[in-house]
């Protein structure tokens, strides 16, 4: 599979900071733009960083793409700003980056763990699209009581929530403690893990996302971030439906009724 990323010409020019996308479209239609020396008048012509592009004979430099993996702390909002002036993920990065970096795979304020931060809109849209069922692993810690095998069976069999039937892909105890459970899920619905556990009677849980699209928290302290490698970015772009899952042993089949909850 080719990893060369193609972008509409008007968008590519706008992303370079040369002008707005509307202005870029106007330049293109007026014959002021060349690709590899040839005049192009179609704004949606696909180009990549390997192409030589000029606007009014001035070369266009590709926008610098930034890809970060952030280990979000508790009580930090997964947005660029907050009307209540609460701390955001953007606040954690502002001392280091002038670019506007957007969170991919949002987490609620109380949940800790992995977020991708990037100014690559194409990757953001790709990972957010439902058909690219991105694999996410959460560590769930119950503050109230043990998570039983029956609870695990219920999560694997599925629970009917107010917005549809949901189930986890995998669930197991990562330690000897029955109050800690590791679950794997693909759904990106709002607070889906909290709602699943609330349906089972768990009102007080701690959530930590330990894996996002194959990326892990290894050597990444709470509140810290690191740049993604070129290979990691390539892997994210090569995610196909279901393909992000490694060929792991599937969970055993659970013959159980659906569990219903209006959450």
Task: Tell me which residues are annotated as active site.
Answer: 108
Helices (H) and strands (E) in the chain, counts: 7, 18
CA pair distance 96, 117, nearest whole angstrom: 13
Contacts of 157 (CB under 8 A, 6+ apart): 167, 254, 256, 257, 258, 259
Buried b (16+ CB within 10 A) or exposed e, 144-160: eeebeeebbebbbbbbb
CA pair distance 243, 27, nearest whole angstrom: 40
Contacts of 4 (CB under 8 A, 6+ apart): 48, 50
Q: With left for phi above 0 and alpha for psi between -120 and 50, is residue 255 left, alpha or beta?
A: beta
Give the 3-state DSSP-derived string for 202-258, with helices as H, strands as E and coil as C: CCCEEEEEEEECCEECCCCCCCCEEECCHHHHHHHHCCCCCCCCCCCCCCCCCCCCC
H helices within 30-148, ranges in order?
89-93, 121-128
Pairing of strands 259-260, 159-161: parallel
């Amino acid at each position: 599979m080719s990893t060369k990323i193609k972008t509409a010409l008007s968008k590519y020019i706008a992303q370079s900071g040369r002008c707005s996308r509307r202005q870029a479209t106007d330049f293109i239609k007026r014959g002021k733009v060349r690709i590899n020396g040839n005049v192009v008048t179609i704004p949606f012509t696909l180009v990549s960083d390997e192409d030589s592009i000029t606007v009014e004979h001035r070369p266009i430099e590709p926008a610098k793409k930034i890809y970060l993996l952030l280990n979000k702390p508790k009580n930090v909002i997964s947005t660029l700003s907050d009307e209540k002036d609460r701390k955001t993920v953007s606040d954690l990065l502002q001392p280091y980056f002038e670019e506007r970096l957007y969170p991919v795979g949002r987490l609620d304020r109380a949940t800790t763990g992995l977020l991708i931060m990037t100014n690559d809109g194409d990757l953001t849209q790709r990972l957010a699209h439902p058909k690219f069922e991105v694999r996410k692993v959460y560590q769930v810690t119950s503050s109230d009581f043990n998570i039983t095998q029956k609870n695990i069976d219920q999560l694997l069999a599925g629970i009917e929530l107010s917005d549809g039937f949901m189930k986890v892909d995998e669930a197991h105890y990562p330690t000897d403690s029955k109050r800690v459970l590791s679950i794997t899920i693909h759904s990106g619905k709002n607070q889906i893990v909290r709602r699943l556990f609330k349906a089972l009677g768990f009102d007080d849980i701690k959530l930590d996302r330990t894996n996002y699209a194959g990326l892990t928290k290894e050597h990444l302290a709470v509140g810290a971030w690191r740049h993604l490698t070129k290979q990691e970015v390539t892997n994210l772009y090569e995610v196909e439906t279901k393909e992000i899952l490694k060929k792991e042993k599937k969970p055993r089949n659970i013959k159980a009724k659906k569990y219903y909850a209006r959450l």
